[in-house]
């Protein structure tokens, strides 16, 4: 199964991706996580990407395409993969098609999560993230068991630098202007599965499960 995950920042993509990665036994490839790691390690890619990420803007397509090309060639992707955060522009989607064609593969499904706009900014500005495994927490709907520590690995939770209100709004705007239109690129192929991402994590998880079992259809 080669799966694409779509949804605005704060839609719960990363959380659902972690469940799906276990269920389908495919690696979750989060371009945001890869970039944050590069920024932390001050690699050439990290240094170039940092300025865009701080503003909530997209990192240039050529950098992203090269990153994904290298990542999906690795052995752990031979049985399928899930892309969380890629493609985010039409040129990225076109480049992904070419890449997959050249290795005799294709996208099987695109899961798109929909969440009300006002809910998104609240979720982002209140969320805590584990810097080591990227699990996210929310004080009301998904608090950590031990205050400020990740349930999975005990690391101290942090606020992502781009989860402030101003950058969160910019990221949502960029999503709706540049990324959401890509759904129309994939729709004619009948691959798009749309799911209501509002409400508790477990409810969304159940909706996602049911939706992916059936034929692609609108929410």
Q: Which residues contact 10 (CB under 8 A, 6 or more apart)?
A: 115, 119, 120, 121, 123, 124, 127, 168, 172
Q: Quick one: CA dihedral 120, 125, 127, 131, positive or negative? A: positive
- Binding region for ligand AMP (CB under 6 A) out of 20-28, 40-48, 81-89, 100-108: 81-89
Whole-number minimum distance, CB 52 to ligand AMP, in Å? 5
Does position 12 interact with ligand AMP (CB under 6 A)? The reply is: no
Residues 153-172 that bind ligand AMP (CB under 6 A): 162, 171
Q: Quote the DSSP letter at residue 175.
A: I
Interface with ligand AMP (CB under 6 A), residue from 31, 112, 129, 136: 31
Interacting positions 34-63 with ligand AMP (CB under 6 A): 35, 52-53, 56-59
Catalytic residue list: 13, 88, 127, 160, 171
Q: Count of CB atoms within 10 A of residue 30's CB?
A: 21
How would DSSP label each residue in 24-92? HT--EEEHHHHHHHHHHHT-HHHHHHHHHHHHTPPPPHHHHHHHHHHHHTSGGGTT-EEEES---SHHH
Measured from the CB atom, is 53 or 130 closer to ligand AMP?
Answer: 53
DSSP 157: P
Query: Of the two residues 85 and 197, which places its CB atom closer to ligand AMP in the complex?
Result: 85
- 206 contacts 44 by C-beta, under 8 angstroms: no
Residue selected from 86, 128, 137, 186 as contacting ligand AMP according to rule CB under 6 A: 86
Kindly state the smallest distance separating residue 132's Cβ from ligand AMP, in Å.
Answer: 15
Q: Applying CB under 6 A, which residues contact ligand AMP? A: 9, 31-32, 35, 52-53, 56-59, 64, 85-86, 88, 92, 162, 171
């Amino acid at each position: 199964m080669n799966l694409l995950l779509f949804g605005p920042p704060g839609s719960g993509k990363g959380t659902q991706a972690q469940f799906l990665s276990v269920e389908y036994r495919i690696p979750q490839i989060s371009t945001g996580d890869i970039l944050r790691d590069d920024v932390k390690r001050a690699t050439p890619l990290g240094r170039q990407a940092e300025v865009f990420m701080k503003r909530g803007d997209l990192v240039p397509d050529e950098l992203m395409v090269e990153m994904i090309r290298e990542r999906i060639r690795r052995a752990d992707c031979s049985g399928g993969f899930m892309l969380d955060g890629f493609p985010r522009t039409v040129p990225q989607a076109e480049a992904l098609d070419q890449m997959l064609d050249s290795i005799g593969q294709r996208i099987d499904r695109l899961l798109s999560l929909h969440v009300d706009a006002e809910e998104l900014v609240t979720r982002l500005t209140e969320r805590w993230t584990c810097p080591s495994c990227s699990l996210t927490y929310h004080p009301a709907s998904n608090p950590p068991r031990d205050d400020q520590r990740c349930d999975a690995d005990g690391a101290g939770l942090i606020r992502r630098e781009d989860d402030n209100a101003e950058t969160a709004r910019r990221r949502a705007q960029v999503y709706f202007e540049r990324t959401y239109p890509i759904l129309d690129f994939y729709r004619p192929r009948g691959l798009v599965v749309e799911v209501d991402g509002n409400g508790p994590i477990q409810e969304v998880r159940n909706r996602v499960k049911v939706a992916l079992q059936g034929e692609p259809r609108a929410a």
